[in-house]
Amino acid sequence: MDVPTGGGKTLSSLRFALNHAKIHEAEHVIYVIPYLSVLEQTAKDIREALQFQPADDFILEHHSNLIISENQEEAQAHRLLTDRWDSPIIITTMVQFLESVYSSKSSDLRKFHNMANAVFIFDEVQSLPLKCTYLFNEVVNYLHYCAGCSILLCTATQPPLNEAEKPIYLSKPSALISDMSESFHKLKRTCIKDSTVPGGYSTDTLQQFVLDKFSNEGNCLVILNTKKDAAKLFCSLENYIQANPQVQIELIHLSTAMCPAHRLDKIKAIKERKQKNTLCISTQLIEAGVDLSFGCVIRAIAGLDSIAQAAGRCNRNGEDPNGKNVYIVNIAEENLSKLPDIKCGADITYRILAESTSDLLLPIAIERYYKEYFHKQKSQMSYAVNEAGNLYDLLSINQKGIGAYQNRGGTNPPALWQAFQTAGNLFSVMERRTISVLVPYADGVELAEKYKRADVKRRNVLLRQIGRYSVSLFPYEIEKLDELGALTLLDDDILTLDARYYSGKLGVIFDTSGELLIFEG
């Protein structure tokens, strides 16, 4: 289902799923959504469309942001539901879905049988982690051809998963609507402007560019690739506003350096202000599906898919029938060494900008981008793991395992030679090198105190709530905070952050002297 941004794919796909389930007697409708910020909005829309009441139990949300009841019986009942997935409608994340298929944990695998004979809606499917591409394709093939499922892939920027080296085998015809070109034309609400400059923008020149566009439109969204660049621009603009108190700007910063609850509160604040006088500086977390509409968007150059998603936050509801501009900029001394996927995408976009004069948001441009991107990145799509090659191999021919068996003198390999347990132990959708830290935002402090006093059963309930107030940090970030004396061990598994190192504007910081210190990423 290739639907332009703002085209109503949430309710359209729901309508399809319900009618398809009725006709084919499917047992479940399962919505799989990439980001928590998108999931909560989608869940709200579905509940309202189906007139869901508090006493009803036909919708199950399964994600880490869900607030679990402190009543132990209610918490246990919810845990059983999430273990089984036997509700008629399930709304979950891509993380939960993939972990339920490829994890070695019995608590994750227990729900797999209830995925049979279901209608799956994969929303914003372009956000699938690159390393999981082939594994995702295989499970979609299995669910359709072996488990009797119908699967709908939804996005405004459909990746050609059927053309990958390990493809999804699409039905024919594969699209619900065969030709969406007219719809893309009718729903065109933005125009991409190449505003890159030789050498890139310094913080000062970018600030002036942003202020000029904000002045013209009355609000503006700026999306940068790294936490460091977003924080630098935010602090620079904050200094400008303090020096010019007559300027009416509501400056907001969004970053994964903030815990999920903090980010959602910021997004809610933007919505309540209806973007009036709002200047939002964000990383790419705001791109896919967040229901916000700005009069102007400025996007650091990245993959064309990301730029198209960023454009979906501009003139989203067609407030200006003449359309609004989305500006592509480049950042001087931008460090993408820890973000190779973004760098690869940006390099391809540079080439398309230099060679093409066509509308970059049309499907033909997106198709060209993906063709180059998939070709360059195909070696990353099998879920590489240093110690075992890649997970796709472990779960298929297991070349290394068979080779090791033969080198030891083995002559009769087992019928099933796949390394299921090894693959399950190694699999993780999220970056495993990160460590979660409970931060002192809102209820985070109270949760830390409750956890210290709680018994084992109570702690299991609190752990789910703690996730809303935690930030994932890399080992080198943990090491730096530990050197600063900013971390405390709550128990063997939970670290808490000193309040001095958590900013209500920036999230986790590494310097309390007033100097900005944000690590790359």
Residues 117 and 213 in one domain: no
Q: Which pLDDT score, from 0 to 100, does residue 66 have?
A: 52
Q: What would the mean pLDDT of 194-201 be, rounded to a whole number? A: 96
Under the banding of pLDDT at 50, 70 and 90, the label for residue 113 is confident
Whether 346 and 219 share a structural domain: yes
**pLDDT cut 90: percent of the chain above it:** 49
pLDDT in tens, 347-378: 999 999 998 767 788 778 888 999 999 999 99
pTM exceeds 0.85: yes
Q: First vs last Cα of the chain: how many Å apart?
A: 32
pLDDT for res 117: 95
pLDDT band at 515; cut points 50, 70, 90: low
Give dist(CA 166, CA 397) in Å, integer: 14
Residue 479's pLDDT band (boundaries 50, 70, 90)?
very high
Task: Indicate the number of domains in the chain.
Answer: 4
Output the six-digit token pair for 239. 């200094």
Overall average pLDDT of the 485-491 stretch:
89
What is the predicted pLDDT for the residue at 183? 67
Q: What is the pLDDT of residues 429-460, one digit of tens each?
A: 877 678 889 999 999 989 888 888 887 777 77
CA 249 to chain centroid, in Å, comes to: 28
Indicate whether 97 belongs to any domain: yes
pLDDT band at 192; cut points 50, 70, 90: very high
Instruction: For residue 165, tell me if it sits in a domain.
Output: yes
Supply the pLDDT for residue 45.
Answer: 86
Strand 324-329 relative to strand 220-223: parallel, antiparallel, unpaired?
unpaired
Q: Are residues 37 and 158 in the same domain?
A: yes
Q: Which residues contact 19 (CB under 8 A, 6 or more apart)?
A: none
Q: Are residues 88 and 151 both part of a single domain?
A: yes
What residue type is assigned to position 10 of the chain?
T
Within this chain, do residues 338 and 421 fall inside the same structural domain, yes or no? no
Backbone angles phi, psi at 471, to 5 degrees: -120, 135
Is 35 contained in some domain? yes
Q: Could you tell me the CATH number of the domain that includes residue 143?
A: 3.40.50.300
The helix/strand count (H/E) of the chain reads as 19, 19
Answer yes or no: do 199 and 323 share one domain. yes
Indicate the pLDDT class of residue 492, thresholds 50, 70 and 90.
low
Shared domain check, 147 and 48: yes
The mean per-residue pLDDT over the stretch 255-272 comes to 91
Distance CA 337, CA 418 (A): 34
Nearest alpha carbon to residue 259 among 472, 28, 34: 472
- Rounded to 10°, the helix 260-272/36-49 angle is 60
Residue type, 277: N
CB-hemisphere CA count at 13 Å for 227?
A: 18
Residue 119 confidence (pLDDT) above 60: yes
Report yes or no on 369 lying in a domain.
Answer: no
- Is the pLDDT higher at 45 or at 251? 251
Residue 331 has a pLDDT of 97
| Amino acid occupying residue 279 | L
Peptide bond into 173 cis (omega under 30): yes
DSSP code, position 321: T
- CA geometry: angle 146, 390, 345, nearest 5 deg: 95
Q: What are phi and psi of 318, to 5 degrees?
A: 65, 35
Do 86 and 232 have their domain in common? Answer: no
Phi-psi region of 442 (alpha: psi -120 to 50; beta: other; left: phi over 0): left
Would the pLDDT of 415 be above 90?
A: no
pLDDT of residue 216: 93
Which amino acid belongs to residue 355?
Answer: E
Q: Two tokens at 351?
A: 């080439």
pLDDT band (50, 70, 90) for residue 106 = confident
* Rounded CA separation 103/86 (Å): 19
**32 φ, ψ to 5°?**
-120, 120
Is a pLDDT exceeding 70 seen at residue 103?
yes
pLDDT beyond 80 at 107: no
Q: In this model, does residue 334 exceed pLDDT 90? A: yes
Displacement of CA 256 from its chain's centroid (Å): 11
pLDDT at 64 over 70: no
Let me know whether 269 and 327 are in one domain: yes
Residues 209 and 313 grouped into a single domain = yes
Examine residue 195 and state whether it is found in any structural domain, yes or no. Answer: yes
Between CA 38 and CA 48, with CA 44 as vertex, the angle to 5 degrees is 145
Q: List, for residues 268-321, the tens digit of each pLDDT value.
A: 899 888 878 999 999 998 876 677 889 999 999 999 999 998 998 998 888 888
Band (pLDDT 50/70/90 cuts) for residue 518 is: low
Q: What is the pLDDT of residues 198-247, one digit of tens each?
A: 999 999 999 999 999 999 999 999 999 999 999 999 999 999 999 998 99
Residue 377 lies in a domain: no
Q: Is residue 157 part of a domain?
A: yes
- 118 and 233 housed in the same domain: no
483 has pLDDT over 90 = yes
What is the rounded CA–CA span in Å between residue 99 and residue 322?
Answer: 44
86 and 204 assigned to the same domain: no
pLDDT for the residue 461? 73
Which structural domain, as residue segments, surrounds residue 393?
Answer: 384-425
Token pair for residue 318?
């067609």
Q: Is residue 221 part of a domain?
A: yes
Task: Identify the weakest region by mean pLDDT among 168-172, 294-298, 318-322, 343-347.
Answer: 318-322
**Which residues, 6 or more positions from 260, have their beta carbon under 8 angstroms from its beta carbon?**
36, 64, 65, 467, 468, 469, 470
- How many other C-beta atoms are found inside a 10 Å radius of the C-beta of residue 192? 21
The pLDDT score that the predictor gives to residue 70 is 52
Which amino acid, one-letter code, is at 146? C
Between 141 and 7, the more confident residue is: 141
Give the C-alpha distances (Å, rounded to integers) separating 438 from 80, 121, 162, 219: 26, 33, 41, 33
